[in-house]
Structure 1
């Protein structure tokens, strides 16, 4: 199949860890990579956000089309909706000029979905949509700090009704689609996120710490991801204070992420807020900001940590827990969304309520004081990640959805019935 992946604000070429660079960038890059590996032809369409970008970039036999839509500068994703008409017009023209037509459009996020609907109407190409986050769920948790317009809700409603398939990334995502968007269950396909075995695997902890310059004799908690309030990093900082004040346990926290390689407050204002929180809790000396790092470095961070912690207010899926599990590191996660699905409570890690530093502190202390339990959870997490959450299995599942909604599946069956074999 010839597949168009749309990801208007999250380029597969971007470095994850910034305000608008995270799980969706990783998802699109890995889905594209794995689809190509199993024989499909993939183009990724993303908004051109730098003036010197070429129209077409390439990585691993994948074309990335940097769509001219709005000014060629980085803009917050909350400001991109007015530029989607230009994005859609460009894509329709581009697709019409291609020698071979596209079999499927897979839109990522609601604005990409709006573009996908325009393409569906103009060219008749089937549309698959992955929301990555639902507007009504976001508004429920973020309230007035949600910068997206209310128009998002109507767009999402239309996408739920008109997409040939809506990809739910976890059971909670599916439940939200059914109850908040009145989705047709027959149009929902449950396909999780994943990790790449070649990218993440267990390494020697001592060597990983030596490489990073981390102390060998301290209990270390890792927090890794986008530096935005809803990720709940302040909750982890406050939990360190509780560990110290109520449990008499000293714990080190390393935070990886930000808008630059430097852990400075100018590039990443959230770091300033978190430093203030650490001072308030009396743990400033135990909270370390490592800045943003490339994908090739992350396995060393996961392996160097005693436990990986992620306690967002809400999380449509959450790829970082999978990456930690793939490295054999136990996970403490918020009992929300996709984390509730990927982390098996009491088996591969522990689930705690979001915004509850006392509960998180108790979970951290439990694993610090019981090294055997932490080791068993790390081993169980590794097994669960490999059995359920690899990008190769995600791509296979998506390819089956594409084949079904595009009619390729029935065409293959007809060829077999006529003695022609499958393509």
Structure 2
């Protein structure tokens, strides 16, 4: 099986991740790398690729390297999108279309297409949905954190924060489109996701960190 992960946020590399380097370089990257390493031990996994953004930045030269071999099964592929700079998660929606085009072209150049895509965060799910429309590859969605939960914690409506309103709308679309949704806890699966109109408990599975 060939699994393609999409993770647009933060500064991602295979080893010595600089956690806290940016606000978006946090626990979701650790979760993703641990998940990928665990899956690589499964004999059914032939190839695992993590697709992320390529950018030039003073944050480090590693993030401008197009391909990083992590192990005999795992590779990180960095693709250029419309902006050449590092972007926080609030600005990534502007990169969805261009990153999707780059990813479709990358997939087309592979000798074998991925069997499935695993999207991490809502903007990655938006990319995965565009790829599915073009190539028919189904996708799995992991939110890692949810906009509605953040809004509740902030105590004000999402319309007060346009980036959060967009994020919630993208999460709704991701939940509606994904073939499977992965949650990290029962609370996330049964309480947090239940606040969304597209909530379908039959398509949610809990995979703890």
Question: Cα distance 1:95–1:178, how it changes in 2: closer, same or farther (>3 A)?
Answer: same
Retained in 1: the 8 A contact 2:172–2:196?
no
State the Cα distance separating 1:100 from its structure 2 match.
0.7
* Alignment match of 1:20 (pick from 19, 24, 40): 24
Q: Could you report, residue by residue, the CA deviation over 1:1-46 in whole angstroms, capped at 9, with x for unpaired residues?
A: 1000100114244321232111111111111122122231100001
* Distance in 1 between residues matched to 2:13 and 2:28, nearest whole Å: 8
Larger relative contact order (C-alpha < 8 A, sep ≥ 6)?
2
Q: How does 1:29-108 map to 2 (within 5 A)?
A: 29-39=33-43, 40=45, 41-50=47-56, 52=61, 53-61=64-72, 62-108=74-120
1:215-364 to 2 correspondences below 5 Å: none
Deviation readout 1:122-169 (Å, 9 max, x if unpaired): 111111000001111112223489672422222211111110001111
Alignment of 1:373-384 (within 5 A): none
Q: Larger helix proportion, structure 1 or 2?
A: 1
Write the deviation string for residues 265-298 of structure 1: whole angstroms up to 9, x where unpaired: xxxxxxxxxxxxxxxxxxxxxxxxxxxxxxxxxx
Q: Give the corresponding residue for 2:4.
A: 4
CA contact (8 A) 2:141 2:182 kept: yes
**Cα distance per residue 1:363-383 (max 9 Å; x no partner):** xxxxxxxxxxxxxxxxxxxxx
- 2:148·2:195 contact (CA, 8 Å) conserved in 1? no
Give the equivalent residue in structure 2 for 1:378: none
CA contact (8 A) 2:79 2:99 kept: yes
1:123 aligns with 2:135: yes
Distance (Å, rounded) in 2 between the aligned partners of 1:77 and 1:104: 24
State the alpha-carbon separation in 2 of the partners of residues 190 and 70 from structure 1: 35
Distance in 1 of aligned mates of 2:147 and 2:120: 14
Contact kept? 1:6, 1:45, Cα under 8 Å = yes
Per-residue displacement from partner, 1:184-220 (whole Å, max 9, x unpaired)? 1111111111xxxxxxxxxxxxxxxxxxxxxxxxxxx
Displacement, 1:171?
1.4
Deviation at 1:181, TM superposition (A): 3.5
- Report the counterpart of residue 319 of structure 1 in structure 2: none
Q: How far does residue 50 in structure 1 lie from its aligned partner after superposition?
A: 2.4
Structure with higher Rg: it is 1
Distance 1:79 1:26 in 2: 22
Which residue of 2 is the match for residue 172 of structure 1?
Answer: 187
User: CA–CA distance in 2 between the matches of 1:100 and 1:109?
Assistant: 25
CA distance in 1, matches of 2:161, 2:70: 34
Gaps of 5+ in 2: none
Q: Secondary structure at the match of 2:85?
A: coil
Distance 1:130 1:99 in 2: 27
Measured after TM superposition, the shift of residue 70 of structure 1 is 3.2
Check conservation: 1:33, 1:60, Cα contact below 8 A.
no
CA contact (8 A) 2:121 2:144 kept: yes
**Distance (whole Å) between structure 1 residues aligned to residue 100 and residue 174 of structure 2:** 15
Q: RMSD value over aligned CA atoms?
A: 1.9
Question: 1: distance between equivalents of 2:164 and 2:178?
Answer: 22
- Cα separation, partners in 2 of 1:12 and 1:27, compared to 1, 3 Å: farther
Matched residue SS, 1:107: strand
- State the TM-score, normalizing by the size of structure 1: 0.43
